[in-house]
Amino acid sequence: MNTHHYDYDLIIIGGGLVGMALAQALRGSGVSVLLLEARGLPEKTEDSRPLALSHGSRVILERLGVWKALPEVTPITTIHISNRGGFGRTVLKAAEIGVPALGYVLNHHDVFRSMHEAIKSCGVDYLVGAQVTRLETGVGTGQIEFLHNGIPKNATARLLVLADGGRLTAQIEGITQHVQDYEQWAVVARVKSEYFPDNALAGSGKPAMTKGRSPARSASMPGSTGTKSKRVHDRYGVAYERFTQDGPVALLPSGEYFALVWTVSSSAAQEILSLDDMAFLARLHEHFGDRLGKFVEAGKRSGFPIALKYATPVTACRVALIGNAAQTLHPVAGQGFNLGLRDAWELADEIIVSPAEIGNSAMLVRYGLRRRVDSGVGRIFTDSLVRLFSNDDLMLASMRGVGLSALDCLPPAKRFVARRMMFGARG
């Protein structure tokens, strides 16, 4: 007979970034929380993907007490969006919008480790190596079965929160998961371009990628005179989003490097991942064009298959979905974690405001309504970008060019787009 049984207000299934964010947001609330993560030693996980976070996400991470512990953060001061092989481009600048940064580039594993450390002291029961195998819900409670280091256990709670990336959604009655494979992969790596050489930052006495260093400060660094250095300063903090007929390529500023997110077709992914460094850099240069000169250095490469997945609705009896379990998006617009953080934050808010209602249908309806517009707009915006910009239809190509040029000439429209990128659908 199974003697391991636990009872909580809330069980969070999945200790990825979003599940941990929810647990953190509930610290000190008096709500009892069990957080279960399937991976055995999650802190050892190396995840090379970069994360572009909005200003709104920074505010949430500060409130969660995680932001300060992040070792490497690069502010995005400019976003340069262009269309390879066509006219039209637009440039969004933080100064024009009146904010210090349009967003920030971080490393997924740095955020993960900071949260993992914070979670250990936030009063949550946090089990790693704990894989949920089955869940069931009734009117008053949800029940789960899980294997913790191979030992079967079960637990009950007033609310089960799925933060598992969508792996268990099929077990929940009343929720449909929509999946659309883009037949694309994202290849990620750190690369360096010839216009951003090491020696441009020489004399700073610290690693180039230091949290919060402003572009203005880098402009006054020793070694920053002359034509080449001027080009470096022009590029510090600039994110490049370039649309090509095979899909978008993003180069996000990451200290003196760029964090590359290169969308390639599924059929080309393995070949590109297995190229040697020189061939990879040459291929990237050929694909991206000459805007940043040649690429001269590449770090470890990883590949992620890309699909659009989303659940409707995001709640069921005694169940709420957050993060990738609610919506998994193409990384082109860097929206996934930003949205997931807002899911976690707003669900925590509902729980804290009315703890007596945890998991009841009124609370779940409110959570679903609060997330509907933000999630829907993020999904439609991201999916439209992929469809509009990842094809070679001539008509669409000229519409793209006109759209980008028009946006560039309309400051109010630029501010509108930038605010949505920084704070979500409600701006």
Ligand X SMILES: Cc1cc2nc3c(=O)[nH]c(=O)nc-3n(C[C@H](O)[C@H](O)[C@H](O)COP(=O)(O)OP(=O)(O)OC[C@H]3O[C@@H](n4cnc5c(N)ncnc54)[C@H](O)[C@@H]3O)c2cc1C
Name the site residues for ligand X (rule: CB under 6 A). 13-19, 36-39, 49-52, 131-132, 163-165, 167-168, 186, 188, 261, 304, 323-324, 331, 334-338, 340
Cα–Cα distance between 12 and 37 in angstroms, integer? Answer: 9
- Which is closer to ligand X, CB of 298 or CB of 397? 298
Closest CA to 92 of 215, 240, 260: 240
What is residue 405's three-state secondary structure? helix
Closest CA to 263 of 255, 272, 254, 253: 272
Which strand ranges, in their side-by-side order, compose the sheet holding 103-107? 50-54, 103-107, 74-76
Nearest approach, Cβ of 161 to ligand X (angstroms)?
11
Nearest approach, Cβ of 222 to ligand X (angstroms)?
32
What is residue 241's three-state secondary structure? strand
- Which is closer to ligand X, CB of 334 or CB of 368? 334
Cα–Cα distance between 391 and 385 in angstroms, integer? Answer: 11
Nearest approach, Cβ of 244 to ligand X (angstroms)?
17
Nearest approach, Cβ of 324 to ligand X (angstroms)?
4
- Which is closer to ligand X, CB of 124 or CB of 261? 261
- Which is closer to ligand X, CB of 120 or CB of 294? 120
Nearest approach, Cβ of 362 to ligand X (angstroms)?
25
Residue type, 268: A
- Which is closer to ligand X, CB of 64 or CB of 397? 64
Closest CA to 326 of 114, 118, 163: 163
135: tokens are: 């869940």
- Which is closer to ligand X, CB of 191 or CB of 201? 191
- Which is closer to ligand X, CB of 224 or CB of 257? 257
Cα–Cα distance between 104 and 55 in angstroms, integer? Answer: 7
- Which is closer to ligand X, CB of 186 or CB of 221? 186
Nearest approach, Cβ of 103 to ligand X (angstroms)?
9
- DSSP for 185-224, please give it: EEEEEEEEETTS-GGGGTTSSS-S--TT--HHHHHTSTT-
Closest CA to 61 of 90, 21, 95, 98: 21
What is residue 273's three-state secondary structure? helix
Nearest approach, Cβ of 165 to ligand X (angstroms)?
3
| Number of residues that make up the chain | 427
Nearest approach, Cβ of 400 to ligand X (angstroms)?
22
Rg (CA), the chain: 22
Cα–Cα distance between 421 and 102 in angstroms, integer? Answer: 8
